[in-house]
């Protein structure tokens, strides 16, 4: 890596919509965070999703990118030597996931 970049993120409300802000500007991130600190937490929700889609929109507004993540089965492996991996059998994989 030639240089290191720091990216700040802030989750805040814009009206009724939750906005996730990514920026390299620490001043902007601090101001956004301070403006959202007064928001009282009224509800906590836990959600389990099979997949997630993320739409990146620019200022025009037009969609720049759409990324999806979907679930897949887990594959447990053990490193035998540097660069060599062995997949664990179903019994050991199940034991690890139940632990």
Share of the chain above pLDDT 70, in %: 88
Please say whether the beta carbons of 93 and 73 come within 8 A: no
Q: What is the pLDDT of residues 56-74, one digit of tens each?
A: 889 888 888 988 888 777 7
Q: Helical H runs in the chain?
A: 26-36, 90-98
pLDDT of 21 higher than 80: yes
Instruction: Identify the pLDDT of residue 26.
Output: 93
Each residue of 62-77: b (16+ CB within 10 Å) or e?
eeeeeeeeeeeeeeee
Q: What is the pLDDT of residues 76-88, one digit of tens each?
A: 888 887 778 888 8
- Backbone φ and ψ for 73, nearest 5 degrees, come out as -70, 150
What pTM was computed for the model?
Answer: 0.41
């Amino acid at each position: 890596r030639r240089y290191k970049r720091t990216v700040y993120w802030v989750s805040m409300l814009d009206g009724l919509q939750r906005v996730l802000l990514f920026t390299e500007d620490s001043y902007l991130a601090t101001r956004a965070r301070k403006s959202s600190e007064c928001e009282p937490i009224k509800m906590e929700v836990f959600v389990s999703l099979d997949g997630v889609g993320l739409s990146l929109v620019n200022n025009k507004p037009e969609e720049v990118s759409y990324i999806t993540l979907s679930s897949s089965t887990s594959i447990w492996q053990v490193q035998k030597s540097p660069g060599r991996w062995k997949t664990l059998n179903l019994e050991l994989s199940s034991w690890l996931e139940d632990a």
